[in-house]
């Protein structure tokens, strides 16, 4: 992660937002703006990256005490992040988004496209084809041990979902599914059939595009 001082002024988070709009920034850059500054030993971009990793691992559900455990985060920054997360939870919700095609969920997950690790995401869908919620199931390489059906379907069962869309980013840039991707998809499709929760699609995505198992007739 580059330090702010290593980034050309026009590409620094605050200046970039002013020139291109908030949607052009990565999650790390947005966090850096909220934090304003780092610490004596930790540049603001480094602190933002640390916070982001912990948020991803906890499905963005962290209390104040857990935030303060992050290296480089003191009480003031922890309070700011906790307030920002709660404000976002109250004001900007994906619930009720109507899904006509599985790829309609891309705006809900596109912020994970620039992650350096694979993030496996599950979107719960109700009987009216509306999004109930979106969750990160695991972080790391997609394989059968990390995305076991019990981990993927535990929350959708509680949500009383009738269907799910699963997705994960490919940091490598290659959108084609691996053998593991194909096997995980098959396993989850079969588990969903048993549970009565349809697997609508498995989407692989990055910053340039996406690959849909459904659109390629592979479900």
Residues in the chain where the model's pLDDT stays below 70: 1-5, 59-61, 89-96, 141-146
pLDDT at 122: 94
3-class secondary structure, 6: helix
- Region of 37 (left: φ > 0; alpha: ψ -120 to 50; beta: rest) is beta
The answer regarding whether domain 102-212 maps to CATH 3.30.1360.200 reads no
pLDDT at 205: 95
What residues contact residue 154 under an 8 Å CB cut-off, 6+ apart?
none
Please give the backbone phi and psi of residue 135, each rounded to the nearest 5 degrees, phi first.
-135, 145
On whether the CB atoms of residues 166 and 199 are closer than 8 A, the answer is yes
pLDDT at 123: 94
Q: Where exactly are the structural domains of the chain?
A: 4-91, 102-212
DSSP 64: H
- At CB < 8 A and 24+ separation, what contacts does 117-122 make? 117/171, 118/142, 118/168, 118/169, 118/170, 118/171, 119/56, 119/168, 119/169, 120/146, 120/147, 120/152, 120/166, 120/167, 120/168, 121/166, 121/167, 121/168, 122/152, 122/155, 122/156, 122/164, 122/165, 122/166
Q: Which two tokens stand for residue 124?
A: 């719960």
On whether the CB atoms of residues 82 and 63 are closer than 8 A, the answer is yes
pLDDT at 176: 93
List the Cα angle 69/133/20 in 5-degree steps: 75
Residues 2, 209: Cα–Cα separation, whole Å: 25
38: how many CB neighbours lie within 10 A of its CB? 18
CA nearest to 137, candidates 115, 125, 154: 154
pLDDT at 175: 92
Bridge-based pairing of strands 131-139 and 163-169 is unpaired
């Amino acid at each position: 992660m580059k330090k702010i001082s290593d980034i050309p002024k026009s590409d620094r988070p605050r200046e970039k937002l002013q020139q291109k709009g908030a949607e052009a920034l990565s999650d790390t850059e947005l966090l850096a703006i909220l934090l304003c500054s780092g610490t004596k030993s930790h540049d603001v971009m480094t602190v933002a990256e640390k916070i982001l990793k912990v948020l991803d691992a906890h499905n963005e559900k962290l209390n104040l005490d857990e935030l303060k455990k992050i290296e480089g985060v003191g009480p003031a920054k922890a309070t700011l992040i906790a307030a920002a997360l709660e404000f976002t939870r109250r004001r900007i919700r994906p619930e009720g988004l109507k899904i006509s095609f599985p790829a309609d969920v891309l705006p809900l997950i596109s912020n994970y496209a620039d992650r350096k690790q694979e993030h496996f995401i599950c979107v719960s869908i109700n009987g009216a084809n509306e999004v109930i919620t979106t969750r990160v199931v695991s972080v790391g390489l997609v394989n059968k041990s990390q995305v076991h059906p019990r981990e993927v379907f535990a929350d959708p069962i509680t949500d009383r979902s009738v269907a799910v869309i699963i997705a994960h980013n490919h940091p490598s840039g290659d959108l084609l599914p691996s053998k593991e991707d194909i096997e995980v998809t098959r396993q989850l499709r079969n588990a969903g059939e048993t549970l009565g929760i349809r697997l609508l699609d498995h989407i692989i995505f990055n910053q340039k595009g996406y690959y849909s198992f459904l659109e390629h007739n592979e479900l």
